Each structure stands twice: as structure tokens, then as C-alpha cells.
């Protein structure tokens, strides 16, 4: 990679630079179908709409993934993805489209908005009339009747939490699912789900391609945990963080109102601490944030008890936020085998209940006779079983419309999502392989440390 000119390695006097961008190739129906026919988009013949110059995107419109560089590095490189948006030529005749929409995995604010916008976008922009909701997740493809959807039916779904289509874990049977897609004649499949769903979606797409079916598959990443990689964040995450803050505020009030009061809040986050981290940064009431990516310990120098001792001595109260996946290795397990849910996700022991017990034990041992209270709040589903906030509703809308334009353009096996604020199409397998975890060596975590001044839990 070359940077021009390169006299000052620190980039102080740099006037221009070149970034080596590798364009990621998106699967397309033309890859495996002999002669798919393209047609002008119906947007062209819409009397009420006159596209401005540059409205239609093409192969030359891309989004670069990396935006942060160290100019002293030898090479500046990034991957680049096709930009999401309408194309002038599409690979479907709208009157022949039979679209299926499915929601899988746990709830997430905004699911109904995505469904609604898929229906509205397909119906209003492209004139599609055959749109079906698959009930109860992947298993619904082969075990339940689909629900016919139309614009009237979905008109106020964005104001409701949950998923009207219902969802479930488990029940992934590749052949039954793809057989059902063939039998029902679906030629567009929109899959809304998290990391597990995406791994399933990759298999569905590969099987569809193996069978050479004229079926476009798009996924829209969903999870409050925000554990999906490459994209900026998953929808519903911000709403969940907002709700989490209410729990933290309550814990703070309780802690402040008691001598030596500790407010303890457990938040969702199976293997990632994004909700805990973001709620901590935004609430400012938190003294210590415990996440799965950063092991912690209780006793001794630099441990949680010593830190809380200091905080209680200084302020008379403290607030601790713990992500549900944190500290699992410290909680005594009675059964040898760890439990799994129907999708194969680990079922955790309750770190909040355990920590509350440990805090009480510690105080009783070291401060016998002094007043002390731990108020434990576990908002669990309250942060995700809610309507999406304005930002998430807007985000869900753009995701759905991006997915529709991509599928109509013949792209398949892709995910629609924002990269540094711009909407892109990303190959599904790349997303399914990339996990978004909190990097405790980067600035996000450093901000938590500087806001809370909590210990790093690195034993010296």
C-alpha cells in the first residue's frame, strides 16, 4: 500500500493518501442461474415519483469498512461493500414475486417495524401483492400455515413491541425449510434474526444455490446483545440501552437512600457486554461495570470488594452493573453438564443473585454490625419486550428498504446493514462468522474505565 508523499511517517504534513480497498463480491442470482431476465424497476413508471440524478445505485457505489488508520503503518487497507439502495434494473417481475418473512431467536425492539416496512416497501414501491409471514421462527416454514400480509394489516405494527409473526428458538431443519420454500413457491425470503439465525440463513442460502432455485435470500440482523459483527450496531440495541438506564437509575436511588447502599443491576448480554457498557457510559451513575469479556475477581488487592469498600467510604453508596454472561466461571455449578437452550445457546447461572449473596457475605465478614443494603434489580425482558424508540424505528425502516432493493436487484445471500453510518450489502457468511465483542484493549472500554475509574482486574 502506498501513501503519497511519505516523508513524515506521523502524517503531520501528509497531503494525500491512498487506501487499498478490496471490493467484497456479493452473491447474485446470475452466479448460478443460466439466464435470469432483468427488467426496468417499476419505480421508473411511478407517476408520483421522479428519481433525481444519482438516485439509482450501481456496481460502482461502494462503502469502505475501515475509517480509522494509523498513518505510520506500512499498509492502509480495507474491505469495501456494495452500497445499499435502489437499482435501475431488477431481476423480478413484481406480479410474480412471492415473498416470505420470518423472525427467529429472542425478541428485540423493532422487529415489527422491520416486518411492517418489508411489507410496505414491497407493496408500495414495487407493487408486490403476495407477501407471507412465516409463524414462530424457522420451524414455521414446515410446520405451520403462513399468514398473508398486506399494507392495511401492518399499518400500525411499528407501535408494538415483540413480533406479531411470533418467534422461537431451535427447530432448524434445513431440508424441510428449503422444501417448504420450494413448495410454497417463495422466490424472496427475508430472514430477521441474530447470530444463530444468520448461521442458519447461510445454510438455507447455500442449499437454495445448490438446488439452483430462483430465490433471493436476505437477512436483517437482530439482537439486543449487539453481538453481530461488521455492522455499526444491531437494531433495538439503543432502545434496550435506554430501558436499561431506567433500571440503573432506580438502583442508584435505592443505593443513595440507604447507609452503605449498593445497587446491583443485571443486564442482558450472553457473551458480550455491549448493553452493560453502553448503559454505564450513558447513565454515569455506575461505579463498576462487569462484562463477560473482562474477567473479574472479588477478594484481595485490586478486587471488587476492595474497590467497593473505597467507594462506600467515599460516597456512602455504589452502583454495580453486571452483564448476565459475566463471572460464570466463579459461580458454583451443581450439575456437571452445562445447560443449553433449544438453539444450542448456553443457559447461564444467575450472576446477579450469586453476586448479591457474595456481597452480603463479604460485608458480614469484614464490617459486622455496620448497616449495609444490597438492592438487586434484574430487568431481564423489560429492556427488549418494548416498542422501538425513534432512532431504532428509523433504523429498522432503512434496513427493510435496503434489503428489498438488494433482493429486487438480484443480490442474494446477503445482509443489509450500516457501516460507519451508510447502508451496505454484506455477504451473509462473512457476517455469520464475525462476532462483535467488547474489545477491552480499545477506546470504548477505556472510556468505561475513565468514567467509572473501576479496577482493571488484572492481578499484579
Ligand X SMILES: Nc1ncnc2c1ncn2[C@@H]1O[C@H](COP(=O)(O)OP(=O)(O)O)[C@@H](O)[C@H]1O
Ligand Y SMILES: O=P(O)(O)OC[C@H]1O[C@](O)(COP(=O)(O)O)[C@@H](O)[C@@H]1O
- Catalytic residues, which ones? 225
Instruction: State the Cα–Cα distance between residues 261 and 252, nearest whole angstrom.
Output: 9
Q: Where are the beta strands (DSSP E) in 199-260?
A: 216-221
Q: Give all strands of the β-sheet with 288-290 in edge-to-edge order.
A: 288-290, 317-323, 261-267, 373-377
Please name every residue paired with 14 in a beta bridge, in sequence order, or none if there are none. Answer: none
Please name every residue paired with 222 in a beta bridge, in sequence order, or none if there are none. Answer: 235
Is residue 106 involved in binding ligand Y (CB under 6 A)?
A: yes
Residue of 324, 378, 392, 429 interacting with ligand Y (CB under 6 A)? 324
Quote the longest CA-to-CA distance of the chain.
Answer: 82
Is residue 341 involved in binding ligand Y (CB under 6 A)?
A: yes
Is residue 242 involved in binding ligand Y (CB under 6 A)?
A: no
Is residue 230 involved in binding ligand Y (CB under 6 A)?
A: no
Instruction: State the Cα–Cα distance between residues 244 and 217, nearest whole angstrom.
Output: 34
Identify which of residues 31 and 342 has a Cβ nearer to ligand X in the complex: 342
Stretch in the footprint of Mg ion (CB under 5 A) among 195-203, 416-424, 440-448, 451-459: 195-203
Identify which of residues 300 and 344 has a Cβ nearer to ligand Y in the complex: 344
Interface pattern 374-393 for ligand Y (x via CB under 6 A): ----------x---------
Q: What does the binding site for ligand X look like in residue numbers (CB under 6 A)? A: 104-106, 137-138, 169-172, 193-197, 199-200, 203, 223, 343-345
Residue of 225, 254, 378, 392 interacting with ligand Y (CB under 6 A)? 225
Identify which of residues 85 and 105 has a Cβ nearer to Mg ion in the complex: 105
Is residue 352 involved in binding ligand Y (CB under 6 A)?
A: no
CA distances from 134 to 17, 97, 183, 190 (A): 49, 16, 14, 10
Q: In angstroms, what is the C-alpha Rg of the chain?
A: 25
Is residue 110 involved in binding ligand Y (CB under 6 A)?
A: no
Identify which of residues 241 and 408 has a Cβ nearer to ligand Y in the complex: 241
The whole-angstrom distance between residue 319's C-alpha and the CA centroid of its chain comes to: 27
Stretch in the footprint of ligand Y (CB under 6 A) among 200-208, 268-276, 352-360, 443-451: 268-276
Q: How far is the CB of 100 from ligand X (least distance, A)?
A: 15
Identify which of residues 100 and 104 has a Cβ nearer to ligand X in the complex: 104
Pairing of strands 261-267, 317-323: parallel
Contacts with Mg ion: how many residues (CB under 5 A)? Answer: 3
Which does residue 324 bind out of Mg ion, ligand X, ligand Y, none, counting CB within 5 to 8 angstroms by kind? ligand Y
Residue 290: in which H helix or E strand, if any?
A: strand 288-290
Instruction: State the Cα–Cα distance between residues 205 and 226, nearest whole angstrom.
Output: 23
Q: CB count, 10 Å around CB of 163?
A: 25
Residue 425: in which H helix or E strand, if any?
A: strand 422-427
Is residue 270 involved in binding ligand Y (CB under 6 A)?
A: yes
Question: Using the 8-state DSSP alphabet, how is residue 259 labeled?
Answer: T
Q: How far is the CB of 229 from ligand X (least distance, A)?
A: 13
Is residue 194 involved in binding Mg ion (CB under 5 A)?
A: yes
Which does residue 110 bind out of ligand Y, ligand X, Mg ion, none, counting CB within 5 to 8 angstroms by kind? none
Residue 401 burial class via C-beta count within 10 angstroms: exposed 0-12, middle 13-18, buried 19 and up? buried
Residue 112 burial class via C-beta count within 10 angstroms: exposed 0-12, middle 13-18, buried 19 and up? buried
Instruction: State the Cα–Cα distance between residues 182 and 211, nearest whole angstrom.
Output: 10
Q: How far is the CB of 83 from ligand Y (least distance, A)?
A: 27
Q: How far is the CB of 357 from ligand Y (least distance, A)?
A: 21
Residues found near ligand Y in the complex (CB under 6 A): 105-106, 169, 194, 223-225, 268-270, 324, 341, 384
Amino acid at each position: 500500500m502506498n501513501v503519497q508523499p511519505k516523508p513524515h511517517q506521523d502524517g503531520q504534513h501528509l497531503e494525500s493518501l491512498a487506501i487499498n480497498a478490496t471490493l467484497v463480491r456479493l452473491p447474485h442470482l446470475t452466479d448460478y442461474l443460466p439466464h435470469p431476465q432483468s427488467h426496468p424497476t417499476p419505480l421508473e413508471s411511478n407517476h408520483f415519483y421522479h428519481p433525481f440524478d444519482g438516485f439509482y445505485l450501481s456496481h460502482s457505489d461502494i462503502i469502505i469498512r475501515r475509517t480509522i488508520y494509523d498513518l505510520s503503518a506500512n499498509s492502509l487497507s480495507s474491505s469495501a461493500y456494495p452500497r445499499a439502495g435502489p437499482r435501475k434494473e431488477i431481476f423480478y417481475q413484481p406480479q410474480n414475486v412471492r415473498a416470505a418473512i420470518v423472525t427467529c431467536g429472542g425478541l428485540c425492539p423493532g422487529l415489527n417495524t422491520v416486518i411492517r416496512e418489508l411489507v410496505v416497501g414491497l407493496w408500495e414501491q414495487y407493487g408486490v401483492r403476495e407477501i407471507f409471514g412465516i409463524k414462530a421462527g424457522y420451524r414455521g416454514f414446515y410446520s405451520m400455515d403462513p399468514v398473508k400480509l398486506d399494507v392495511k394489516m401492518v399499518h400500525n405494527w411499528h407501535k408494538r413491541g415483540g413480533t406479531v409473526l411470533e418467534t422461537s428458538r431451535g427447530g432448524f431443519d434445513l431440508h424441510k425449510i428449503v422444501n417448504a420454500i420450494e413448495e410454497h413457491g417463495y422466490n424472496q425470503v427475508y430472514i430477521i434474526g441474530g447470530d444463530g439465525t444468520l448461521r442458519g440463513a447461510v445454510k438455507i442460502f447455500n442449499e437454495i444455490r445448490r438446488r439452483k432455485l430462483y430465490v433471493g435470500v436476505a437477512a436483517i440482523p437482530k439482537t439486543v446483545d449487539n453481538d453481530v459483527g461488521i455492522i455499526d450496531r444491531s437494531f433495538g440495541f439503543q432502545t434496550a440501552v435506554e430501558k436499561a438506564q431506567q433500571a440503573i437509575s432506580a438502583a442508584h436511588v435505592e443505593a443513595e437512600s440507604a447507609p452503605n447502599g449498593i445497587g446491583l443491576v443485571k443486564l442482558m448480554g450472553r457473551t458480550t457486554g455491549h448493553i452493560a457498557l453502553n448503559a454505564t457510559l450513558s447513565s454515569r451513575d455506575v461505579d463498576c461495570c462487569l462484562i463477560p469479556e473482562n474477567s473479574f475477581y472479588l477478594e484481595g488487592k485490586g478486587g471488587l470488594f476492595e474497590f467497593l469498600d473505597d467507594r462506600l467510604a467515599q460516597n456512602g453508596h455504589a452502583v454495580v452493573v453486571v452483564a448476565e454472561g459475566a463471572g460464570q466461571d466463579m459461580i458454583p455449578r451443581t450439575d456437571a453438564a452445562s445447560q443449553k437452550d433449544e438453539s444450542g445457546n448456553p443457559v447461564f447461572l444467575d450472576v446477579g443473585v450469586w453476586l448479591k449473596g457474595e456481597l452480603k457475605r463479604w460485608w458480614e465478614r469484614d464490617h459486622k454490625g455496620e448497616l449495609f443494603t444490597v438492592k438487586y434489580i434484574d430487568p431481564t425482558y423489560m429492556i427488549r419486550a418494548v416498542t422501538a424508540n425513534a432512532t431504532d424505528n428509523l433504523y429498522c425502516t432503512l434496513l427493510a428498504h435496503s434489503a428489498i432493493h438488494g433482493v429486487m436487484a438480484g443480490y442474494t445471500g446477503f445482509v443489509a446493514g450500516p457501516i460507519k453510518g451508510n447502508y451496505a450489502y454484506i455477504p451473509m457468511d462473512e457476517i455469520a462468522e464475525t462476532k462483535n465483542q467488547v474489545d477491552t484493549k480499545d477506546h470504548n472500554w477505556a472510556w468505561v474505565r475513565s468514567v467509572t475509574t473501576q479496577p482493571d482486574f488484572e492481578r499484579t
